[in-house]
Structure 1
């Protein structure tokens, strides 16, 4: 065993304590007293046989006097120094562990007792005079005992010759001072290079196993002194120190883990490179979260977190030791170990888990009560039976623990991933429970877990089973609305209905029944069956009044009926349209009721009014609701939405109450109207345009801006204001705040001048695009006067010429006649 310190030889040369020889004398006196006492143990016999006893006393005294020189001789021998020189010193090399193993004996034929002895060991490197290690090794020695000691070298043993010698000294309390060292043994040579071949380059140690954070020394031996050797660690050139003529060493401190396959070190000269792999292990961690449990009171399972992998192919070993029983077992897994419970009624266990690898040991302990650590096995055979629309009976089985122990089982009912019911049941072998208040045609999950009832510690694993309740007739009438159009005085009704929610459908809807009843002819019924999943149908009626009923049907039966009434004549559509503004939540709106007997209200709109056909939507409200907020994921900014509010009478007849239009968010106009120019003069011209459809407007048009630009840079005319466009050009702008005004006369212009104009609408969000200006040039100031004079003169001359021509023709005719 390698020592932890080095001591100078002078310290060991100091005398050791001795024991006084008075103890031997004391022992002798005690024996003497015992002998004398023995002689006096039978006084009556002595009295009767006085002469024989006197002779025996003389002989006994003579015998004790003869023994006294022998004991005195023994005391004198022990008082002498015992220079026991070590013999048969043998040194062997373990290249794998880089260790020197020493074996020797201490032979002294004169003594058979055990002595405490100190062995001083010297180790030299390269030559005997170069001592690199001095250590004192203390032990108790028997006669002819073979002793062992090992020393681990930091430098690979193949890289240097080592010499070993030792001497001894008895360090026993029975030996008096002075205590002297024996003579040194002869030097024993340990040469690992004898086994090397004639290769020109060697690198050691081979496949060295080291722990992360430790230091390691690598060396190379070169047979060719003239060769230039370069060495690399992970392809990085490094430099070492020369130990001998052909030996160089490289010391790496605090080595780190790089990869599981090791860290590469190699050297190369003129021949092939030689190298080694340093296998670096991460530090073995102490096991964490160490705990034990049992599922059946027969086998204990202890688990732990082993921590990070050390990175070695050979995994650490784990041993489980129990101190009360003194038993231990080697674990087969790195994070779990099984322990068989004996039948000796042992309840308390004191476990120690020992993790061990090549470098170190780690241990952790736990005090465990068997009864307090029962983790039952998961239940099994979970099965729902007698499942109806609203009830279901669930059964399951459990593994028994002991002969009389009960389990506490927890039954959970889940719907849509959430626990909606939870029940605790005491179970020994079989469990059963009736689940009630279930919804028809609904998928549920039943889950069961159990715990030890005598001492709750941990729930078992969950087992689960899905089941679906039976269908029931739909519980709610469909939400129905209608759209009525009149063709040639006859109403055409399109009926719409919303699919029932799963909560109210109570099963798969197969079809819808539509019953049309003519109120003027009660015996006249028309029944339509519309297969699901259709949600509308069209009915053509005459000018009578009708009551229409819609029911949804599943495999069990029909839902309650929803009724709407249709009049044979158009209602009042002349209702003024109001405006409203949308918010982030939708369109808030309110209205004033017309009748006190209203049974409700319906708000109707289209989700995508810019697309045809209209996707009709509606919202039913109770008779006390006179305001609401209409929201939809289909609402978009810049789209105009039109809402119609109906009041429902007691006869289920719908009367239009109000119309409203609004934008969820107004946007600036995306284009400008097409403008016509007319009445161009030298001082004015007239602009006119048409309104574009409201469906294409991105906001409520509040008015128009008329822009006028002059190339001469003249001042803005009356009513215009100076403004700057986005290109920093100067422009004059006139504001028309009446959205119904569609004409504008531009006045006070200069003759023979070039102008540009633009008309753009504006909303609360901004104005239209400021591009596509049109150009116009005013005529000369007198050109219109000249036109008014010349045109009549030309016309007059033309008339005279015609008259003259006609007159000449008449004269020619007269001459011919004459």
Structure 2
């Protein structure tokens, strides 16, 4: 089965092909398509049949099939009863296309179209809505009616307008062109004061519909022309009353019936009051009087009219102004007094504004400020601000409003003395749109204010300009400032707490409703230029040119090689360090606000060179510093030579200052046996000695070296014998020429083993054992103690003392005891 795409362009080709087969009657016809109606309702069912004629050349003496083109493909239809395959029928349950061409095909090997029929689908018409009519009394007089048409029917639809005179029941029909939903009927075809009915009818092949009929009197639907106010003037002898003279247009001057009039009055000066008046009356008078207005106040008036309640309003008239009769001002003013203490007098700043109860009752109102009710005035102005001097004892200030008729009762303003009161805390101001500021504050701790005063001043280059103030309730902690606030302009916002005894100090903050980049950038000034640094400064930007709160400054500088660096600054001064000498730099200053940044002009600077004077200025302090350091070190060396000696050279024991000299003192005799015949204290045992463990070879070498050294002195002195008054010096005849060497005991093996005996060697030290050698004291037996400065090696202890002539015993024999030789006794090694 072959599928054929279908389109409207293809339909033209099919119709041309059908024409060639005689479908149009010029040749033999092969088939005919029959249906109940070629126009059906959108979405309904459609049935059609195709009948093949007997003389169709495509169906003679051959077998064939009849098929339909449906949904872009050829489908087999149903065979009609009692037909020999020459009739086929198709059924479409939902016809959902605006139009479709049904075609019938004969298929024998291939398929060829033989008949076709166009079927259209649409909707029945819907009722028109919102039918309305309005009578126009301006020439040419007409009755204009309009409506809202229903949905599109997709098929040709006719509209008609019908007008019925309810008195004579005469109907007039008007045909409406397709796509038009309004009509204008001339004045000659209707009566102004006669009831009539109108409706709209819609009809097409699928049905018809009629709108809801509208019954009315044409004059009730008339929209009158805009009235004209001739003049507005005060009513003579009546305060607060204005008379308005008005008229209709010349074409409608014949309308004499009572009309509804709406009068709208608004004060010209909105700062006085925002009260508006609207009056609706039914009357045919040409003068309208409105009372209950403010005295001496200028009003702006407009009006409009209508025939009756169901009639449409006319357009608003022209604007006209009138002023009521003046009367003395009434009510009190809202005031705000600030006192600045001075040396002899205080300076008072008083501002005021009308309260809700105040009525100026006049066009030109002035204000008088005085210190007493009947005293001379300090200020006379038509503004709302006054600054004057008052004495320190003043307690009240009086304010009056004056016009051409009289003056108001004075408003008393208390003068508070300066006392210590708490201020409002945590004040914050943020933008609320481009022309408003939202203010928040907190109540003072441990205090109960009775209210707050919110003050707004505009900053200027020289001073601040007062804008407004607001008296707020004690429970209020926020307020919106919108009057007189403009973007890019700084405002000083202050909140004062009010107490029974006075007004507390303010909390103030500078705020912008909107910020942007500054209008100008400051110019860089070079204060100091040296070879390695430079100091820059710049002037402050005028307040009127800042356009926001300055967040900070940035200085960009670049050397000749293109190396760029940046320094930030919060103040109007910065120092650039670590610069190269004799180098050209370019510097640029950028100033920023929260709304943007602006770059200034590029300035050029040349760093200096390091000249001879600079070298001298640098060298002289350096040399002086080095000299002072050297002098200090030298003085320290001379005064602290002992400390320096210990610091530079290692500490060497000095026997002259050792504690060995104290062994003979009385304190050390407690461990010695008492001596009866000797006046010299007995030496005590050595408490410590040095032990050096060496190998055999090292011991022999060390002994031989010391032996050679001591043999040189044996020629001049030998071991002294008993009875000598002074031992000879081993270093010569002069014992003071060379110091007495001291000894070290060296063992050839571990000192724990007794044999072999230790070698007692003399030291190479030239330090004296004592500062002055005292003569050796005789022993109790009349001999010199032989253990002083003894040199021996390889001898036993008894042989050392064999040279003593005296006998210690009663029997004449010699007795040598270790206790008599404390030095040697300390060298005794005992088994452990």
TM-score (norm 1): 0.40
The structure richer in strand per residue is: 1
Report the structure number with the largest CA radius of gyration: 2
TM-score (norm 2): 0.39
